[in-house]
Amino acid sequence: MRSIDEQGYHFEEWLTPQDIAKDVEQVAKRISADYKTKEPLFVIVLNGAFVFAADLIRSLDADIRCEETFIRVSSYYGMASTGRLEFIVPLQQVVENRDVIIVEDIIDSGLTIHQLKAHMRGLGAASVRVATMLFKPNKLEYDDAKPDYVGHEISDEFVIGYGLDFDGFMRNLDAIYKVKENSPSE
């Protein structure tokens, strides 16, 4: 098993590239079946989701007609329960009447997805679903942020690689690694 040390933390390989490929294949198969007669617009959440999204769209059935666009947001847990969403890279594409699939690397509290879904609905999307590589069900605080397509579930542990970062680094790892000591996220 491979391991990696970063900023004093020890990480061990959890999902190998082969494991990830199986997860991506399973998600792509379901999306291909569900969107056969539609033209989905993938809204890829930067920065983390770009690796998963690149594999996912190439695993879809070739007859799926789809488009991709990007968004970069930052969420704040303010005092108001609604929170606030800052658009660092705003949406460049019209989502009105489109079947949107938001693509995320990982869903934790669900705040980002909760707010993004409301944003897409407000812009008149015909439907909004969510595909994520990883999902932490134990951490979910927003019911409507439950993803429709999940690569793998994970308990409350900090992971890096395959798009997931530790202070901006380690996104390039081809596998997903779990922290072995105290999680730096806590």
Min dist. Cβ of residue 163 to Mg ion (A): 8
Listed in sequence order, the residues at least 6 apart from 95 whose beta carbon sits closer than 8 Å to its beta carbon are: 41, 43, 120, 123, 124, 125
Min dist. Cβ of residue 68 to ligand IMP (A): 18
Out of 20, 53, 91, 106, point to the residue binding ligand IMP (CB under 6 A): 106
For position 132 contacting ligand IMP by CB under 6 A, the verdict is no
For position 43 contacting ligand IMP by CB under 6 A, the verdict is no
Burial class, 84, CB count within 10 angstroms (exposed 0-12 / middle 13-18 / buried 19+): exposed
Out of 35, 53, 57, 112, point to the residue binding ligand IMP (CB under 6 A): 112
Q: Is 105 a catalytic residue?
A: no
For position 147 contacting Mg ion by CB under 5 A, the verdict is no
Min dist. Cβ of residue 51 to ligand IMP (A): 12
Task: Quote the CA–CA distance of 144 and 157 in Å, as a whole number.
Answer: 22
Out of 28, 31, 42, 48, point to the residue binding ligand IMP (CB under 6 A): 48
Distances (CA, A) of 126 to 31, 43, 94: 16, 14, 12
Task: Quote the CA–CA distance of 100 and 113 in Å, as a whole number.
Answer: 13
Residue type, 180: K
Active-site residue, from 34, 55, 108, 143: 108
Task: Quote the CA–CA distance of 35 and 33 in Å, as a whole number.
Answer: 6
Residues in contact with Mg ion, shown as a per-residue x/- string from 23 to 62 under the rule CB under 5 A? -------------------------x--------------
Among the residue ranges 12-20, 21-29, 63-71, 106-114, the one whose residues contact ligand IMP (CB under 6 A): 106-114
Task: Quote the CA–CA distance of 161 and 141 in Å, as a whole number.
Answer: 24
Q: What amino acid positions are annotated as catalytic residues? A: 108
